[in-house]
Amino acid sequence: MIRFEDVSVVYDGASRPVLSHVNLHVPEGELVLVVGRTGSGKSTLLRCVNGLVPHFTGGTLSGRVTVEGRDTRTHPPRELADIVGIVAQDPLSGFVTDMVEDELAYGMESIGLAPAVMRRRVEETLDLLGLADLRNRPLLSLSAGQRQRVAIGSVLTTHPRILVLDEPTSALDPGAAEEVLAALQRLVHDLGVTVLLAEHRLERVVQYADRVILVPGAGEPVVVGTPADIMISAPVAPPVVELGRLAGWAPLPLSVRDARRAAGPMRERLAPLADQAALRARAALHVVSGEPALAVRDLVVRYGPQTALRGVTLAADRGEIVAVMGRNGAGKSTLLSTLVGLHVPRSGSALVGGSTASQLSGPDLVRRVGLVPQEPTDLLVADRVDEECEASDRDCGAARGSTRAILDRLAPGIAADTHPRDLSEGQRLSLALAVVLAAEPPVLLLDEPTRGLDYPAKKHLVATLRDLAASGHCVMLATHDVELAADVASRVIVLADGEIVADGPATDVVVGSPMFAPQVSKILAPQHWLTVADVAAALVEAS
């Protein structure tokens, strides 16, 4: 189906190849997962499949990529459009039309299918992906999960034999991610489509994969194998695999179900110390000062006719780490942006450090509260890291070099002349965080911070957030990432349709929730464990 023969890719002006001497063969009807750290060349590998690399991106490709016998050297992407469908990271950026139904038909129109065929396939695709109710909706009005499904549908209508997806679930809430993955499963099982996907949230996808391609980066050779084999030693691994590694289970379980079957003895060993140990470990992590940092009362926020928040009341103290969870569009981002005064409440109040957020501006605002937006790049203005740091010092009136000092603590060793866009996702987040922290706000808000972060970068973020909380910051993060929430949050708030439906300690809220429970708690239920680290600590204590 897809064959890579001794493929190397060098981008123009780069000193090192992104991929070197890759040999691969992907047979028909497999679901293949591409894993690796950020910047290791996963996206490049995916884009080689339909010739976007090098026809579109430039650079030099040596070796040969053949797809169903067509050589990408002689076939530009448009000539492969009928056999390879590719879905980019941000579905919105790839939409050509403005309505769902037209978008589904666009690819077929381009390759010139007969009108009757198009009509039939649009209907089939609407059913296959559960989009029938949305057929006449404008694309801009869709939620993130719906957009992702439309993007998949829009490439599926040309009946490609191969579907390539770059991080299809990283922007989605757990429910929407499951919908997308269920749709992919159906394509693989019922229609025999070959699926190649890259994803950071391995806990969501690894159990569905037939094979895993590990791209180690830095020009190291690519490793191909069964998921269990690769996961034993991969630098990126979901919690279920880490727990398996810790317990030495063989064969390594990849799904919660397999792990639960292997976890009987472990549950027995942990039973006597379950509650106290876990709770003690948590309590030691979070010293809540009792000093109020923010207070929200009966907050109602509307956008035109839509109500985003309906009467939200909450308060948080310094030293707390609060995770705000809920569906896409539940009002998480609105809550955070109201706390920095981007929205004026219709009624109710949002106070940070005792002042109404929407009345603050300039230095008054940034010294009380800081927000790292969903796309950290939005916050950055300069072309070089050192200029960015200097600009940040000036903006908040901090002493010269203070932003750089914070950055060096968060992510050491970033060269001063790098362009912020050339940094890895984790480094860029650190830079944005440093810019926000330079004003020393007691309240720190993060919107979806783990989007695009790999596991090591996520661990680093967790450590950073714990340090900040320990030094008296109040941290609030909106996230879909249940593992992150379980790992770092002292308290979890669940929003649904603009209302708070749950608010309490992480252990109480996420455990037992089918949607928000982390893998470890699902495996070790009914005991209340949240993370692999908790379990490891308890096991050490027990022995």
Q: Are 385 and 416 in contact (CB under 8 A)?
A: yes
Is residue 396 at the binding interface for other proteins, with CB under 8 A as the rule?
A: yes
Residue 118 binds other proteins, judged by CB under 8 A: yes
CA distance 22 to 9: 9
Say how far apart CA 26 and CA 45 lie, in whole Å. Answer: 13
Contact between 392 and other proteins by CB under 8 A: the answer reads yes
Other beta carbons less than 10 A from residue 142's beta carbon: 20
Q: One symbol per residue from 464 to 503: x for binding other proteins (CB under 8 A), - otherwise; what is it? A: ----------------------------------------
User: In angstroms, what is the minimal distance from the CB of 365 to other proteins?
Assistant: 6
Q: CB 453 → other proteins: shortest distance, Å?
A: 20
Of 154-213, which residues contact other proteins (CB under 8 A)? 154-155, 158
Among 115, 265, 354, 401, contact with other proteins (rule: CB under 8 A): 115
User: Of residues 28, 378, 422, 541, which one binds other proteins by CB under 8 A?
Assistant: 378
Residue 62 C-beta: closest distance to other proteins, Å: 22
Give how many residues touch other proteins by CB under 8 A: 77
Q: Does 124 bind other proteins (CB under 8 A)?
A: no
Q: How far is the CB of 396 from other proteins (least distance, A)?
A: 6
86-105: which residues touch other proteins (CB under 8 A)?
86, 88, 90, 93-99, 101-102, 105
The answer to whether residue 106 forms part of the interface with other proteins (CB under 8 A) is yes
Q: Does 320 bind other proteins (CB under 8 A)?
A: no
Residues 235 to 264 in contact with other proteins, rule: CB under 8 A: none
Give least dist CB 101 to other proteins, A: 8
**Torsion angle in degrees (nearest 10) through CA of 193, 197, 202, 208:** 10
Tell me: does residue 400 bind other proteins (CB under 8 A): no
Q: Can you read off the two tokens belonging to residue 532?
A: 């692999």
**Sequential DSSP letters for 70-129:** EETTTS-GGGGTTTEEEE-SSGGGG--SSBHHHHHHHHHHHHT--HHHHHHHHHHHHHHT
Binding mask 57-76 for other proteins (x = CB under 8 A): -------------------x
Give, in order, the Cα–Cα distances in Å from 404 to each of 234, 255, 390, 443: 33, 42, 8, 20
Q: Could you tell me if 148 and 184 are in contact, meaning their C-beta atoms sit under 8 angstroms apart?
A: no
Stretch of residues binding other proteins (CB under 8 A), selected from 77-85, 260-268, 275-283, 466-474: 77-85
Q: Is residue 111 near other proteins by the rule CB under 8 A? A: yes
From residue 354 to residue 373, the character string flagging contacts with other proteins as x (rule: CB under 8 A) and all else as - is -------xxx-xx---xx-x
Q: What is the CA radius of gyration of the chain?
A: 24
Strand order across the beta sheet in which 499-505 lies: 369-372, 443-447, 474-478, 321-325, 491-496, 499-505
295 counts as binding other proteins under rule CB under 8 A: no
Residue among 182, 205, 184 nearest 193 (CA): 184
Residue 192 identity: G
DSSP single-letter state for residue 138: B
Q: Is 56 in the site for other proteins (CB under 8 A)?
A: yes
- Nearer to other proteins (CB atom), residue 112 or residue 264: 112
Tokens of 207: 């159990």
Q: How far is the CB of 167 from other proteins (least distance, A)?
A: 14
Backbone conformation region of residue 37, classed left if phi is above 0, alpha if psi is from -120 to 50, else beta: beta
| Contact status: 107 vs other proteins (CB under 8 A) | yes
Copy the structure tokens of residue 7: 């493929």
* Residue 283 CB, nearest approach to other proteins (Å): 33
